[in-house]
């Protein structure tokens, strides 16, 4: 089988990470759960086939014995899989499958014809597949199987990956090689790797993939490209993964040769209807589109004086007869320099609440600006009452160290998901969502994500979209056990749980944001003030000068976008949590924090702490030598060294710059920056990866 690259019994052989968290390694005999056969009468049904193949692969490797797939139950310790309609043994058990959900699964230990069996079932085959992966995960991570019926269903219907992949295989903000979609060879050749991609997604419950970049290219809707998309859709279908595309608003002009893309123009409307029918003729379960319109140069309805709702509804109407959905992004900012960039999405979209068709979903980034290491949650969550909202998070680490820095994002997403909206009773952000979409970090690199630890972020996306209340630590523990083994899980989890805060500290403590270098966003650039739009410049965001620092979002009016309860908390510097202080307030450098330190002293302490956290993660990892295979151990070791070097770069460059503004000495006991500010300003990385706006 494709995934089994290293011998199952020699777990310390160098590994390359290709197997992700689906590493099925031999379990010591005493700890094995005996399984004799997999009973699956409808073994050829595509999704059941995916389920029994996976079980066979995993169980044979873990128990080091053959486990045949059969249609008749003949032995003790069999695993019975299927829906009640496809497996008569299961039908005979009359298990309670409620509450009905076509993606839910039920596990139950049972006795059938006098034989002990494990039952994995659901109302639909999809649930059975999810149950099979869950079963393997329990065994792999050494967790006991439940003693009685266990039911699990996803919290959200939409659990999506958004690939920012271009048709030329470059990946916007991609740090893991090229796109996994080899458009040129499709549809004639479908890389078998796509099957492993599907397995990985199904194993964590991801059920949709948007194949293309939101900075989109109309060509993906050309007839030959529809065939290519169809080949991918056919490959992903057995795993319960629907395919979506990005829709370029001006496609009627570029592809249809019309004179306009005005959403109220009947010819434009007809063009979309015809094009969408063409897609559905080839891909009957096509999911729909994501559209980025009137944002960062992308065309949209405002080019014709129409609103986002008018634009979205036009495409939604063409999708509706086929059951398709339209995810319309709220990441917009108009062409005039705003008082506050952070206020833009709410300003545009909140007034449109109630004007969207029922198959439109507004896709909102977790924070109001742009995937920064720390932002408060977007005020749109909970404010859109009549329009479903999808939370978009960035799995790829554009602002958290690309592929080389260790930053586990589960903690960051949990922070957003668990935030109370303070609008209605106990409502949390997670209660306001219909789904979660993650900007993919997957590429052609052998280890998929560019680094071993970045696989955890893909894993966390799926697990938290299945159950947003799971908790980042539990997810990290699952992943660590599956990926590195149960014996090293504890130190691995401890590294992961502190990693994101370390990045916040060495890049932008106390609520500072958007301080990175231009274009590629690699490394520090808090001094940048020369970009075309004011709100692209870091100086616009930090507002630092001789006297003070921070963005006064009370004066800007932005705070009013939040519920009164939050206005009360965030309205004054004294009541604002320190980790968002400079997000909401402009304060003098001498402003005193609860620690007794001034803002300046605290900033220096936190930048320094961020670096020391990386040093301590390195030390923690070093202790795992000999306990983790040599291949992955070496790469993580080297990457942590890079992270330490770059954390120090961020710290030193930032401190040098702030000192050039405030003229303050360093607090006692802290090392001065290694180089001059001029040195840091002169660093340039024209070829840093992921910087592409080309189609």
Residues near ligand GCW, by CB under 6 A: 164, 172-173, 214-215, 292, 296, 331, 370-371, 398
Are the CB atoms for 288 and 241 separated by under 8 Å? no
**Considering beta carbons, is residue 292 or 347 the nearer one to ligand GCW?**
292
Q: Which one of 224, 267, 278, 296 is the catalytic residue?
A: 296
Are the CB atoms for 272 and 318 separated by under 8 Å? yes
Q: Catalytic site residue 296?
A: yes
Q: Catalytic site residue 398?
A: yes
Q: Rounded to the nearest whole angstrom, what is the least distance from the CB of residue 115 to ligand GCW in the complex?
A: 54
Residue 160 has what DSSP assignment?
E
Strands 548-549 and 208-210, sheet pairing: unpaired
Q: Rounded to the nearest whole angstrom, what is the least distance from the CB of residue 365 to ligand GCW in the complex?
A: 7
In angstroms, what CA-CA distances link 654 with 371, 537, 538? Answer: 20, 15, 12
Structure tokens that stand for 654 in this block? 């930032």
Q: Rounded to the nearest whole angstrom, what is the least distance from the CB of residue 519 to ligand GCW in the complex?
A: 9
Give one DSSP letter per residue of 562-603, joined into a string: S-HHHHHHHTSTTTS-GGGHHHH--EETT-B-TTS-BHHHHH
Those residues whose C-beta lies under 8 Å from the C-beta of residue 168, and which sit 6 or more positions away, are 694, 695
Bridge partners of 171? 165
Q: Quickly list H helices, 192-299.
A: 193-203, 223-236, 251-254, 266-282
**Considering beta carbons, is residue 370 or 613 the nearer one to ligand GCW?**
370
**Considering beta carbons, is residue 171 or 611 the nearer one to ligand GCW?**
171
Q: Which one of 398, 478, 644, 652 is the catalytic residue?
A: 398
**Considering beta carbons, is residue 47 or 215 the nearer one to ligand GCW?**
215
CA angle 173, 179, 180 (to 5 degrees): 140
Chain residue whose CB lies nearest ligand GCW: 370
Q: Which one of 60, 165, 370, 602 is the catalytic residue?
A: 370
Q: Rounded to the nearest whole angstrom, what is the least distance from the CB of residue 166 to ligand GCW in the complex?
A: 10
Task: Using CB atoms within 10 Å of the CB of residue 290, give its burial: 0 to 12 exposed, 13 to 18 middle, 19+ buried.
Answer: buried
Of residues 438, 431, 470, the one with CA closest to residue 454: 438
Bridge partners of 159? 436
**Considering beta carbons, is residue 173 or 374 the nearer one to ligand GCW?**
173
Beta strands in 465-609 (DSSP E): 548-549, 587-588
Q: Rounded to the nearest whole angstrom, what is the least distance from the CB of residue 424 to ligand GCW in the complex?
A: 29
Question: If you compute the radius of gyration of the chain from its CA atoms, what whole number of angstroms results?
Answer: 26
**Considering beta carbons, is residue 292 or 374 the nearer one to ligand GCW?**
292
Phi then psi for residue 322, to 5 deg, are -100, 0
Q: Rounded to the nearest whole angstrom, what is the least distance from the CB of residue 288 to ligand GCW in the complex?
A: 18
Q: Rounded to the nearest whole angstrom, what is the least distance from the CB of residue 318 to ligand GCW in the complex?
A: 23
Q: Rounded to the nearest whole angstrom, what is the least distance from the CB of residue 49 to ligand GCW in the complex?
A: 36
In angstroms, what CA-CA distances link 18 with 442, 446, 454, 493? Answer: 12, 6, 13, 21
3-state secondary structure string across 306-355: CCHHHHHHHHHHHHHHHCCEEEEECCCCCCCCCCCHHHHHHHHHHHHCCC
**Considering beta carbons, is residue 170 or 447 the nearer one to ligand GCW?**
170
**Considering beta carbons, is residue 205 or 538 the nearer one to ligand GCW?**
538
Q: Which residues are catalytic?
A: 296, 370, 398
């Amino acid at each position: 089988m494709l995934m089994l690259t290293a011998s199952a019994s020699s777990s310390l052989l160098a590994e390359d990470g290709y197997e992700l968290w689906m590493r099925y390694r031999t379990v010591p005999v005493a700890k094995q759960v005996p399984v004799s056969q997999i009973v699956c009468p409808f073994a050829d049904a595509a999704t059941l086939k995916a389920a029994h193949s996976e079980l066979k692969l995993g169980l044979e490797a873990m128990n080091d014995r053959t486990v045949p797939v059969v249609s008749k139950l003949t032995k003790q310790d069999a695993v019975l899989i299927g829906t009640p309609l496809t497996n008569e043994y299961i039908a005979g058990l009359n298990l309670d499958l409620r509450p009905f959900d076509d993606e839910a699964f039920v596990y139950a230990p049972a006795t059938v014809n006098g034989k002990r069996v494990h039952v994995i079932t659901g109302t639909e085959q999809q649930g059975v597949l999810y149950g099979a992966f869950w079963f393997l995960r329990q065994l792999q991570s050494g967790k006991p199987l439940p003693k009685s019926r266990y039911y699990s269903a996803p919290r959200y219907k939409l659990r999506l990956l958004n690939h920012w992949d271009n048709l030329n295989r470059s990946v916007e903000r991609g740090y893991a090689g090229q796109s996994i979609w080899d458009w040129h060879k499709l549809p004639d050749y479908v890389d078998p790797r796509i099957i492993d991609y599907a397995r990985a997604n199904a194993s964590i419950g991801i059920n949709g993939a948007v194949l293309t970049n939101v900075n989109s290219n109309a060509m993906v809707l050309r007839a030959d490209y529809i065939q290519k998309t169809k080949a991918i859709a056919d490959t992903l279908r057995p795993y319960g993964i629907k395919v979506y595309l990005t829709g370029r608003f001006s496609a009627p002009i570029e592809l249809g040769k019309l004179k306009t893309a005005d959403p109220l123009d009947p010819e434009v409307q007809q063009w979309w209807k015809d094009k969408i029918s063409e897609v559905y003729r080839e891909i009957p379960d096509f999911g729909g589109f994501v559209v980025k319109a009137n944002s960062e140069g992308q065309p949209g309805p405002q080019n014709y004086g129409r609103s986002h709702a008018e634009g979205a509804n036009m495409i939604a109407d063409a999708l509706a007869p086929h059951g398709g959905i339209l995810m319309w992004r709220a990441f917009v900012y108009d062409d005039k320099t705003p008082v506050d960039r952070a206020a833009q999405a709410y300003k545009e979209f909140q007034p449109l609440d109630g004007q969207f068709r029922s198959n439109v979903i507004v896709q909102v980034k977790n924070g109001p600006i742009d995937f920064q290491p720390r932002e408060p949650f977007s005020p749109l969550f909970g404010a859109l009452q009549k329009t479903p909202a999808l939370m978009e998070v960035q799995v790829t680490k554009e602002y958290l160290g690309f592929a080389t820095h260790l930053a586990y994002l589960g903690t960051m997403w949990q922070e957003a998901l668990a935030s109370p909206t303070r609008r209605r009773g106990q409502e949390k952000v997670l209660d306001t969502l219909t789904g979660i979409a993650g900007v993919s970090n997957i590429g052609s690199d052998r280890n998929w994500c560019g680094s071993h630890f970045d696989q955890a972020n893909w894993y966390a996306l799926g697990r938290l979209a299945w159950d947003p209340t799971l908790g980042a630590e539990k997810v990290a523990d699952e992943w660590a056990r599956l990926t590195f083994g149960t014996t090293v899980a504890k130190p691995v989890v401890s590294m992961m749980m502190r990693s994101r805060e370390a990045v916040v500290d060495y890049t932008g403590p106390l609520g500072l944001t958007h301080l990175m270098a231009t274009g590629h966003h690699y490394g520090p650039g808090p001094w940048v003030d020369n970009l075309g739009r004011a709100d692209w410049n870091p100086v616009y965001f930090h507002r630092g000068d001789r006297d003070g620092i921070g963005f006064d979002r009370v004066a800007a009016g932005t705070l009013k976008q939040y519920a009164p309860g939050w206005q009360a908390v965030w309205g004054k510097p004294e009541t604002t949590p320190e980790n968002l202080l400079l997000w909401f307030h402009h304060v003098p450098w001498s402003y005193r924090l609860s620690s007794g330190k001034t803002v300046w002293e605290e900033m220096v302490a936190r930048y320094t702490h961020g670096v020391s956290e990386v040093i301590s993660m390195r030390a923690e990892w070093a202790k795992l030598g000999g306990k983790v295979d040599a291949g992955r151990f070496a790469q993580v070791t080297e990457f942590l060294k890079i992270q330490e070097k770059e954390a120090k770069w961020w710290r030193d460059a930032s401190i040098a710059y702030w000192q050039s503004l405030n003229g303050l000495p360093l607090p006692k006991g802290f090392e001065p920056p290694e180089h001059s500010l001029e040195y840091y300003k002169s660093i340039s990385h024209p070829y840093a990866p992921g910087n592409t706006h080309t189609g």
